[in-house]
Amino acid sequence: SFGITALELAQGRAPRSREPPHSVLLHIVTKTPLTLDCEAGPYKYSRAFQEMVERCLDKDP
């Protein structure tokens, strides 16, 4: 999705790339979507970019 691609470009790696694929799929189905707040690391992002990513990853837009 565009939201995951935006996270990957911002962070330089795919979200949850260090986890096994079955764990990532389970997270997608059962948990709340990723946000830049919990995945940001040392970087700071504009509120507009954070909101765009959140909208893209919303499970029920």
Spell out the per-residue pLDDT of the chain, length 61, in tens. 899 999 888 888 888 889 999 999 999 899 988 887 655 567 788 889 989 999 999 987 6
Residue 34 CB-half CA count within 13 A: 21
Q: How many domains are contained in the chain?
A: 1
Full domain range(s) for residue 32: 2-57
Total-model pTM: 0.74
Q: DSSP state, 1?
A: -
How high is the pLDDT of residue 19? 93
Asked if residues 34 and 14 have their Cβ atoms less than 8 Å apart, the reply is: no
Which residue stretches of 1-61 are H helix? 2-11, 21-30, 36-39, 47-57
